[in-house]
């Protein structure tokens, strides 16, 4: 059973040619439609929404029963550690092994503080890392899984199927979130 896939489809009314009896007697003005149609920006928004909808549908079709787990033992160990630290409510321990390598200590402390103040954000982050660790809603892993791995997955506990991605990179055998 599939849940509805989220989409930002723009509706521009009925498109196409009007029948001859629906057109005005000539000229351009309010009674003839005045040439009202999509401008370039609106047309691009409709095209982008259509492309995004197709990408989300393709991602939903890729979801295999049981999902996808990494084949890299050290990456899987890091994901399992993050899920365990999250389940235990250890925000400081989680942040210490999650944040990118190049994040300053000041930024790391700030991020941990934000998570401590925002229980909903913390809970969502833990849920997402847990499903990546168990692979249940992961649709695809992009990258060599040696130096980088991008996990594409559906967010947990959502009525709509929202497709997300998170990148992990490895430096000197230490896997961290990237970005």
DSSP 27: S
How is residue 67 written in tokens? 């999902």
Cα→Cα distances 35→15, 23, 58, 107, 165, Å: 13, 12, 36, 53, 41
* Category of 176 on φ-ψ map: left (φ > 0), alpha (ψ -120 to 50) or beta: beta
Q: What is the DSSP letter of 97?
A: H
pLDDT tens for 146-163 read: 999 999 988 776 666 677
Total Cβ atoms within 10 A of residue 111: 15
Candidates 92, 66, 69, 68; CA nearest to 79 is: 69
**Residue 145 corresponds to which tokens in the numbers above?**
């899984």
Per-residue confidence (pLDDT) for residue 16, from 0 to 100? 41
The pLDDT value recorded for residue 137 is: 83
Q: Which two tokens stand for residue 140?
A: 């695809």
Helix (H) or strand (E) holding 63: none
Specify the pTM.
0.63
Give all domains of the chain, ordered by start, each with its CATH number: 1-62 (no CATH), 73-178 (3.10.450)
Q: List, for the chain, all residue ranges whose pLDDT scores fall below the cut of 50.
A: 1-35, 61
Distance CA 167, CA 150 (A): 4
Longest Cα separation, the chain: 75
């Amino acid at each position: 059973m599939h849940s509805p896939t989220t989409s930002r489809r723009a509706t521009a009314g009925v498109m196409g040619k009007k029948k001859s009896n629906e057109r005005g007697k000539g000229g351009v003005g309010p009674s003839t439609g005045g040439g009202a149609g999509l401008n370039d920006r609106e047309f691009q928004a409709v095209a982008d929404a259509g492309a995004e909808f197709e990408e989300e549908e393709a991602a939903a079709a890729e979801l295999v029963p049981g999902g996808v787990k990494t084949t890299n033992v050290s990456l899987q160990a890091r994901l399992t550690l993050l899920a365990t630290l999250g389940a235990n409510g250890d925000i400081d321990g989680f942040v210490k092994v999650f944040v990118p390598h190049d994040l300053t200590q000041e930024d790391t402390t700030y991020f941990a503080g934000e998570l401590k103040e925002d229980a909903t954000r913390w809970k969502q982050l833990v849920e997402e890392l847990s499903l990546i660790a168990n692979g249940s809603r992961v649709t695809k892993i992009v990258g060599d899984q040696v130096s980088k791995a991008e996990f594409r997955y559906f967010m947990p506990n959502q009525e709509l199927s929202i497709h997300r991605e998170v990148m992990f990179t490895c430096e000197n055998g230490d896997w961290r979130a990237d970005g």
